[in-house]
């Protein structure tokens, strides 16, 4: 197990996720879940949630580093498509979005905990979700 772990960390990510994208998207997804635990009217909660998720996706997919990723993959003849490892971590966020309204109206500390948990999870797994970590395992240039 130690060898596999060391081997995994020996691969350097050639195009790291920009901090503004990683922090911003993590915060927006955390906000999307946290707002569903507040005492706001359900319509306002849903509106903020939709805007936060849309803004997080827009931030990720419109940032210039995505062009660098496509060029990196094209140079190696690898097709850029979603993989199971990119989508799977998002299921926990989806589950949080589905369960958060059950807590509403929650105390402020519960809303803060919901935000921090989702923010932390997204920050931790974001390089896997956006695909930058997988670039470390792409075949080297020929």
pLDDT tens per residue across span 39-83: 999 999 999 999 999 999 999 889 887 788 788 777 777 777 777
**What does the DSSP assignment read for 79-126?**
-----HHHHTTHHHHHHHHHHGGGGPSPPHHHHHHHHHHHHHHHHHHH
State what percent of residues in the chain have pLDDT above 90.
Answer: 51
pLDDT at residue 7, rounded to an integer: 55
d(CA 122, CA 115): 11
pLDDT at residue 8, rounded to an integer: 53
Question: pTM of the prediction?
Answer: 0.83
């Amino acid at each position: 197990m130690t060898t596999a772990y060391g081997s995994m960390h020996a691969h350097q990510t050639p195009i790291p996720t920009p901090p503004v994208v990683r922090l911003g998207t993590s915060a927006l997804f955390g906000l999307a879940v946290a707002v569903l635990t507040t005492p706001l009217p359900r319509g306002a909660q849903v509106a903020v949630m939709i805007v936060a998720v849309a803004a997080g996706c827009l931030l990720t997919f419109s940032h210039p580093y995505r062009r660098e990723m496509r060029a990196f993959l094209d140079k190696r003849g690898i097709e850029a498509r979603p993989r199971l490892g990119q989508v799977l971590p998002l299921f926990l966020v989806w589950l949080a979005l589905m369960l958060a309204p059950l807590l509403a109206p929650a105390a402020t500390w519960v809303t803060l905990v919901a935000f921090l948990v989702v923010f932390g999870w997204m920050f931790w797994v974001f390089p896997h979700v956006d695909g930058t970590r997988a670039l470390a395992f792409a075949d080297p240039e020929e």
